[in-house]
Amino acid sequence: MNKKRFSINAGVFHGRTAPEQGVIAGYAAIIDTLGLELPMPSILSLICNTRKQYSTGEWNVFSSRAAFEDTLYRHLVFALKYEGLHLLFFKKLFEKLSAKDVVAILKEEPTGQYSRKIWFLYEWLMHKELPIDDLTIKNYVPLVDDSLQFALSSGSKSPRHRIINNLPGTRDFCPLIRKTAKLENYIKENISGRKSAYLKKIHKDILQRTAAFLLLKDSKASFSIEGESPKSSRAARWGRIIGQAGNNDLTKEELIRLQQAVIENARFIKLGFREQGGFVGEHDRITGEPVPDHISAKWQDVKQLINGLIASNELLLNDEIDAVLTATVIAFGFVFIHPFVDGNGRIHRYLIHHVLMRKQFSAQGLVFPVSASILNHIDDYRKALESHSQPLLDFIEWKETSDHNIEVLNDTIDYYRYFDATRLAEFLYDCVNDTIQNIIPAELKYIQQYDELKRYIENKFEMPDKLIATLVRFLEQNNGKLSQRAREKEFEALTETEVRDIEKIYLEIFR
């Protein structure tokens, strides 16, 4: 196997045009040559006859100085060194190779750090020991290169391999996030600290009222994302649930409790973890055949995946790893698994709140209205979800069931355990930043403006609070003008001059 040739000369590779002619290297070359059952990496590596190293959106271009012997082992070393750790790739590779093949590959550099990483990964992913003696003298090296990907701040040592396992997850659930300029800049900015400093300047009463208003706003937005327009009482009820985020530990029972809170009328839905297939998409209008955009995890795998997600959540909460990155892998991992027949979307967004609260990113009793920002960027949200789901559709075999659902036929559990969450993390950080920069300040400003107008009306007209609220709502709906109907009904006691004065003050305050 190690004598097979893997490098591919290409100007166009799997529908992507290279920035210049060169040789495909690393993970992509191995996936293509061995026909491994997984999507191509989002960023490909290309070795060219050039003196400079540079990156474009989809390519990392290396100079000819990076060229190496065209063997499987050397491609693996190149990938680990420059592309980071790709757990799904290694699982699919090890399923393709025999244990004898792997041992032969490792003999190239029996105690080298990359051999040790591959050795550790084989035994960790496959639950099998290779016939290799324990190491005794080498220094420990971290499994994840934290210059390329985010990892645990402190991992566990494996004396057998002399490896520090700093993977940010467990064997049953371990998405990884690459270190990009955007994510590193967000983390350096200390958004949470900036938000806390800003909120300390706000009067406690206004802050409490803003928090209540934002809870309702976020709840309504979460329904809107699902294409629903709930009654105010239903939105307020879910808002109260969001307000409890972080109070309870994340367990299977807690997830089921949340589903029961989401699904008020369960007459047509079986609550609890799925015992049937699932997908997100449409049905053909004529035949009823499923047209999936996303295929959920096999129902037989759901409990194992959820156990893995819960264990990884606990691991990440007890580590110094960034709060928004943790929220990304837990919340998006949940929605990709899609463990319930219904209610997954809202619980997924609840989990963002839960992790941010548990990580003390959200403080001072103010829940981040992340769903409101997601709704404002709904196309970006859809694209972020599809960036994970769409490429996997080619690797999931399924058939239509008698009730026009989906039954998955092949082994797919690893697609939900191991994935690259980088794009999702960038999207969520964009939403968190938008929430702090725009949404929270806008709501605080609105309440302050409302209070100013309310004081004016109270002082001049002694109008009751309920009627003032109605008046402000009418003015908002009609661009600062009171309609003729409102003047003749609810506000017939106001003179023309008084109405013009109120409209003038409204526009001055809300300008």
Name the CA radius of gyration of the chain, rounded: 27
**Cα distance between residue 210 and residue 447, in whole Å:** 7
CATH number of 190-429: 1.10.3290.10
Domain extents for the chain? 8-165, 190-429, 444-509
* Residues 175 and 414: beta-carbon distance below 8 Å: no
* Residues 7 and 24: beta-carbon distance below 8 Å: yes
**Cα distance between residue 297 and residue 86, in whole Å:** 20
Say which residue, 218 or 480, is predicted with more confidence: 480
CA angle, 22 as apex, 21 and 23 as ends, to 5°? 150
Is 60 exceeded by the pLDDT of residue 2?
Answer: no
Angle, nearest 10°, between helix axes 465-477 and 440-461?
120
Give the tens place of pLDDT for each residue, 102-136: 999 999 999 999 999 999 999 999 999 999 999 98
Of 511, 160, 193, 205, give the one whose Cα is nearest residue 322: 193
Mean pLDDT of the chain: 90
Q: What are the φ/ψ torsions at residue 445 (nearest 5 degrees)? A: -65, -40
Say which residue, 96 or 237, is predicted with more confidence: 96
pLDDT of 268 reads 79
Mean pLDDT of 459-483: 90
Give the tens place of pLDDT for each residue, 194-212: 777 777 777 667 766 776 7
Cβ burial of 129 (10 Å; 0-12, 13-18, 19+) is: exposed
**Cα distance between residue 353 and residue 219, in whole Å:** 12
Secondary structure class of 32 (helix, strand, coil): helix
**pLDDT over 90 for what percent of the chain?**
66
Q: What are the φ/ψ torsions at residue 44 (nearest 5 degrees)? A: -100, 155
Query: 58: number of CA atoms within 13 Å, CB side?
Result: 14
* Residues 221 and 374: beta-carbon distance below 8 Å: yes
Give the tens place of pLDDT for each residue, 342-363: 989 999 999 999 999 999 887 6
Is 70 exceeded by the pLDDT of residue 41?
Answer: yes
Give the tens place of pLDDT for each residue, 63-91: 988 988 999 999 999 999 999 999 999 99
* Residues 62 and 51: beta-carbon distance below 8 Å: no
* Residues 55 and 71: beta-carbon distance below 8 Å: no
